[in-house]
Structure 1
Amino acid sequence: MPPLAEPGKRILARLIDFLIISIPLYLISLPWGGAVDVNGDGDDGFGDAVASGYSGHQLLWSIIGLVVYVAYDTYFTHKDGRTLGKRLLKLRVAMLNDGRVPDTGAALMRAVVLWAPALLCCPCLWWLINIVLMFTDKPYRQGLQDKAAKTVVVAVR
């Protein structure tokens, strides 16, 4: 098994992946009123939509965003263990037990556990928990998504 990835590189890779997806999604959403709450009425995600029964377009863009993020992460993780951000920073997702590339089920589990809570209810808290885990989890530096899918992130050459 290659050495475990440094938490700082993992965070940077995730930020790159986030920008790769979120910028095009935002631009695509503009002709339909945008994917963000421009009215300042507090409707900023699925959780608020369910609680307040608000406008359909915010809910629609939250769901579209969730599907795109999960599909992106699942596809690239299953393909070769590397999203575009991980590829740039020479990182790879590996199965904990044998180091192989995750199968579709593990890749999907990892993506859902990573993206669903962050996009649907509590993004700041969710990311903070995962960042703290990457720095403190022993011995594998696993985030919650890694624990759920039984994966680790390793450095590659």
Structure 2
Amino acid sequence: MTTPGWYKDPAEPDVRRYWDGEQWIGDGVPADTAIPTEPPVDEKPRYGVKEPVLAPFGPESFGPERTAQSPAGWGVPVGGTSADGRPTGYPAQPGFPPAGAFKLPLGTLPGDVPAQALASVGERLAARVIDIMLVGLLNVVVNGWFVYQYISQPYWQQVADAMTAAAKGQAIDPPTATTTVSWLAILIMVIALGLWFAYEVPQIWYSGQTLGKRLIGIRVQFLLDQQMTFGLSMRRWWVQALTVICWPIGALFGLLDALWCTWDQPRKQCIHDKAAFTIVVRARAPRSEAASGTGSEGDPS
């Protein structure tokens, strides 16, 4: 249905509405009456024209009161026309934006913020470095004994001897890792992933901020302006965890993921942000903006 004209509403067959090629506009008319010759006057604003602002962060920021006109997210109640002018003749599809949504300009998605409210690459990098250091300290405490047992295995001395012999041009059979070495390697990786998961996923789910992000003053926000769920937080983490799970090839993916936000437009998203429909924003205005009073309206500086 691409040609503008009067059509029966898929959700209300007894009502005929005007489709302008992109959305339903105006009020409907009974289907059994004569088809109007002119389109209705579109008095409702198109979706996404209102300038978004960065609201204070917290559970109240994502409550149902902010999505009362569209309680199911991108899918709105079947039948009629939504308050923002979108057609509603299709089933609700909560939590997933339409195809191509990430390419839309800022201000066209429910959870968008002004460009100046997006976290910079430097801020994201600083927060990540802090988080890596903290998770590393947790691994020293929890994983330290297993790492010591791993590097103390005779296998590594055999590897060193083989490398020395190869440097001297001597032929020597390469050592074979023992079952103990293999199991210790798996155990160390599982514990490391578990600590990272326990550190990051619950914090992003609950507050949008790890300790590193809190110290830098940035946070993760669900792009569709709804409550962040544990599943979405886990999905976001899982994409990042591929760096460790698929090591060493995963290291290349991890580098690509980390650099993606440097060229992504318009929302500076990494791959793991796109997977979970999130953006990273400033939790407070930069000092230069706060001092000059140029921060965006509604920014909790």
Shared fold per TM-score greater than 0.5: yes
More relative contact order, 1 or 2 (CA 8 Å, 6+ apart): 1
Give the Å deviation of 1:37.
5.2
1:32 and 1:110 map into 2 onto residues whose CA distance is 28
**Superposition RMSD on alpha carbons, in Å?**
2.3
Q: Residue 148 of structure 2 corresponds to which residue in structure 1?
A: 34
TM-score, normalized by length of structure 2? 0.44
**Contact residue 94 and residue 153 of structure 1 kept, 8 A:** yes
Match of 1:87 among 214, 219, 222: 214
Match of 1:72 among 184, 199, 202: 199
Deviations 1:96-134 (A, max 9, x none): 121x5521111111011112x111223531332023211
Give the Å deviation of 1:22.
1.4
Are residue 21 (structure 1) and residue 21 (structure 2) matched? no
Compared CA separation, residues 150 and 34, structure 1 to 2 (3 A): farther
- Identity percentage of aligned residues: 28
Compared CA separation, residues 140 and 37, structure 1 to 2 (3 A): farther
2:253 and 2:185 map into 1 onto residues whose CA distance is 21
TM-score, normalized by length of structure 1? 0.81
Q: Residue 129 of structure 1 corresponds to which residue in structure 2?
A: 256
SS at match of 2:119: coil
5+ residue gaps, structure 2: 1-52, 55-116, 160-177, 285-301
Match of 2:244 among 119, 127, 136: 119
Q: Residue 49 of structure 1 corresponds to which residue in structure 2?
A: none
Give the Å deviation of 1:33.
3.9
SS at match of 1:154: strand
Compared CA separation, residues 84 and 71, structure 1 to 2 (3 A): same
Q: Which is richer in helix?
A: 1
Count of aligned residue pairs for this structure pair? 145
Compared CA separation, residues 27 and 136, structure 1 to 2 (3 A): same
Compared CA separation, residues 149 and 142, structure 1 to 2 (3 A): same
1:5 and 1:66 map into 2 onto residues whose CA distance is 26
**Contact residue 81 and residue 101 of structure 1 kept, 8 A:** no
